[in-house]
Amino acid sequence: MPDQPLTRRERQREQTTAEILTAARHLLAADGPAALTLRATAREVGMTAPGVCRYFPDHRALVQAVVADLYRDLAADLEAARDAHADAPTADRLAAAARALRRWSLAHRSEFTLLFGKPIADAGTAPEDPAHDAGWRFGQVFLGLMTQLWREGTVPPPAADESVPAWWTQYDDLREHLTDDIPLPVLNRFVQAWTRIYGLVALEVFGHLDFTLADPEPFFEQALSDVLTSRRATPAAAVSAVESGKWTVPTTAAQAAPVS
């Protein structure tokens, strides 16, 4: 059955909701996360705060809508950068996405602060929040590319005698979102790679590299190259490590163990 067209009232509600969201994002970009209040947003669109609450029932709902919108925009930018190199090696596509993240973050410092600095309590996301799924779309860009590197065998396999620290059980929630049973040592390398990329971007966004780097871009490029080249191996070595049974794919870190 085809979707029924929206009623006039529904169209008006959609339009007003979009106007409120646009106003909230304008406040965020101009004055930072602290400016993102119901009262200020209401003034921006010529409404009262109770009027805005007919569309966003409280401050958290408004902030979550902004966060979800930002994640969608950021994910779209990263996906476009990745897909612009569709025929390139996966490592090059990952590099393109990382560069796109840096560009977006430097051009949207207040938005980056809201997403990744969590400067206000309502910016945090829970599984039931609309921003949660949007955040996973963003995360899947990098996670998907890193998983592809593992599939291709271009990530060094875990050594047969590599031990698994007990604290790696913290990766269990992340592994539930993966479509591949990636060995925990490999997943740990992925997280290390991401924290290095994200960490450098955050340091630059917040001005913490200014003490020595007038132009951090070459430093970022060197770090990105290090991240990518340090995680390469011959496909035969990576694939055979799993197929030959030298490493089991555990369901929890506690079960991870090399095969003797």
For the chain, the DSSP string reads -PPPPPPHHHHHHHHHHHHHHHHHHHHHHHH-GGG--HHHHHHHHT--HHHHTTTS-SHHHHHHHHHHHHHHHHHHHHHHHHHTTTTS-HHHHHHHHHHHHHHHHHH-HHHHIIIII--SGGG---TTSHHHHHHHHHHHHHHHHHHHHHHHT-SPPPPTT----GGGGGGHHHHTT-SS---HHHHHHHHHHHHHHHHHHHHHHTTTTTTT-S--HHHHHHHHHHHHHTT---HHHHHHHHHTTSB---SSGGG--B--
Structure tokens at 135: 């955040």
Residues of the chain with CATH 1.10.357.10: 67-158+170-230
CATH fit for domain 12-57, picks 3.90.550, 1.10.20, 1.10.10, 1.10.260? 1.10.10
Q: Identify which of 3-12, 17-26, 172-181 has the greatest average pLDDT.
A: 17-26
More confident residue, 104 or 155: 104
| Cβ proximity of 117 and 199 under 8 Å | no
| Cβ proximity of 172 and 253 under 8 Å | yes
More confident residue, 121 or 157: 121
| Cβ proximity of 257 and 250 under 8 Å | yes
Residues of the chain with CATH 1.10.10: 12-57
More confident residue, 177 or 96: 96
Q: What architecture does CATH give domain 67-158+170-230?
A: Orthogonal Bundle (1.10)
Residue 44, CA distances (Å) to 26, 48, 84, 239 in order: 9, 10, 37, 57
Q: What percent of the chain has pLDDT over 90?
A: 57
Count of alpha carbons within 13 angstroms of residue 112, beta-carbon side: 17
Indicate if the pLDDT at residue 172 is higher than 90.
Answer: no
pLDDT tens digits, one per residue of 186-224: 888 889 999 999 999 999 999 999 999 999 999 999 999
More confident residue, 146 or 257: 146
Count of alpha carbons within 13 angstroms of residue 212, beta-carbon side: 3
pLDDT tens digits, one per residue of 112-152: 999 998 777 777 777 778 788 899 899 999 999 998 988 88
More confident residue, 239 or 134: 134
Beta bridge partners of 258: 247
pLDDT tens digits, one per residue of 39-52: 999 999 999 999 99
Average pLDDT of span 47-63: 95
* CB neighbourhood size of 152 (10 A): 15
